[in-house]
Amino acid sequence: VTNGGKTTLAEKLKKILPNCDMISQDDFFKPESEVETDERGFKLYDVLDALYMDEMVKSIHNWMRSPASSGIVTEEPQNTGDNLKNTEDVYILIVEGFLLYNYEPLNELWNRRYFLTLPYEECKRRRSTRVYQPADTPGYFDGHVWPMYVKYKNELEENASNIVYLDGTKSQEELLSCVYTDIIQELKKLRE
């Protein structure tokens, strides 16, 4: 969901996990001139066609081919403790974005999937506090952003499995703890 805390959570995880890098879907938006406009004059940013998804997939595959040379700084992560011993040879890529699980070429790549949700009112409130370039036009949230979220979430629920749904109204600390704990469990499985 837009403004659900995806980037914040990903950035915090990147700081505390070893050998961790991040790719953000927002970095693959097409320029405004290439984004379609609907009959109401809304720029259709909340659809896959507004993104260079092939480029994103290439970036992920490039990282997967050579994670050690991807520019990751392999410094000691914060708050390590015993949880992360023997993970020096494991590299983690966090891919964050709002239309990741609806793009079939990416679905074979995920080890873990997390989906942040927000109720309509909270999402609208958060969205109204953000400044976008180009700026949201009046009615854009209700006329395009929220309906596209609902559409893609429904498609996701019908077609995808193994998704951990996270309540975006929880504190950043709670969300971080939940996902971090889950990733640590996955790392332990890799070591077995």
Contact at 8 Å (CB) between 94 and 180? no
| AA identity, residue 93 | L
Tokens of 162: 């193994």
Instruction: Let me know if 26 is a catalytic residue.
Output: yes
Q: In 84-110, which positions are buried (b, 16+ CB within 10 angstroms) versus exposed (e)? A: beebeebbbbbbbbbbbbbbeebeeee
Is the four-CA dihedral 137, 32, 48, 172 of positive or negative sign?
Answer: negative
Q: Active site residue: 26, 89, 142, 182, which one?
A: 26
- The tokens for 57 are 């997939």
With H, G, I as helix, E, B as strand and everything else as coil, classify residue 166. Answer: strand
d(CA 84, CA 61): 25
Contact between 17 and 10 under an 8 Å Cβ cutoff? The reply is: no
Residues taking part in catalysis: 26
